[in-house]
């Protein structure tokens, strides 16, 4: 998904495998931030817990230059852990030219509103 001004994009995924079910959200966010591909000079900060969320959540911030476009990006990786079910990864990619405050309320709303259901079995 992208913002209408194209300065912010978001990717949402789930890991229902053993790592996603069992790994602490801080460790998961750290791994996810360090595993981002296609960046030159990627620097990831240590993750921190995010208070006020429905599920245990950690955030890792990173910066780097996206090789394909040559644009500097600010990246926020959220690992949202639903115990014994999955870890959901929500990654925001923001243009380095755009201040974080422009999207801060929307980012917080997305992270805090994420809900999960068990997948329904296929017929």
Under the phi-then-psi rule, with left for phi > 0, alpha for psi from -120 to 50, and beta for the rest, what region is 53?
beta
Q: Tell me the CB-side half-sphere exposure of residue 84, using CA atoms within 13 A.
A: 0
Provide the pLDDT for residue 2.
85
Where does the pLDDT of residue 119 fall: very low under 50, low under 70, confident under 90, or very high at 90 and above? low
The domains found in the chain, sorted by start residue, are: 8-113 (3.40.1000.10)
Condensed to tens digits (0 to 9), the pLDDT of residues 46-96 reads 999 999 898 999 999 999 999 999 999 999 999 999 988 899 999 999 999
Where does the pLDDT of residue 44 fall: very low under 50, low under 70, confident under 90, or very high at 90 and above? very high
pTM of this structure: 0.90
């Amino acid at each position: 998904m992208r913002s209408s001004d194209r300065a912010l994009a978001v990717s949402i995924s789930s890991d229902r495998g053993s790592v996603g079910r069992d790994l602490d959200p801080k460790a998961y966010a750290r791994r996810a931030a360090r595993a981002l591909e296609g960046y030159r000079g990627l620097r990831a900060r240590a993750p921190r817990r995010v208070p006020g969320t429905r599920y245990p959540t950690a955030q890792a911030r990173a910066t780097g230059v996206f090789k394909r476009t040559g644009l500097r990006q600010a990246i926020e990786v959220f690992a949202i852990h639903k115990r014994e079910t999955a870890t959901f990864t929500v990654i925001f990619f923001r243009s380095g030219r755009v201040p974080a405050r422009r999207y801060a309320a929307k980012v917080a709303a997305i992270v805090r509103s994420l809900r999960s259901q068990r997948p329904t079995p296929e017929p």
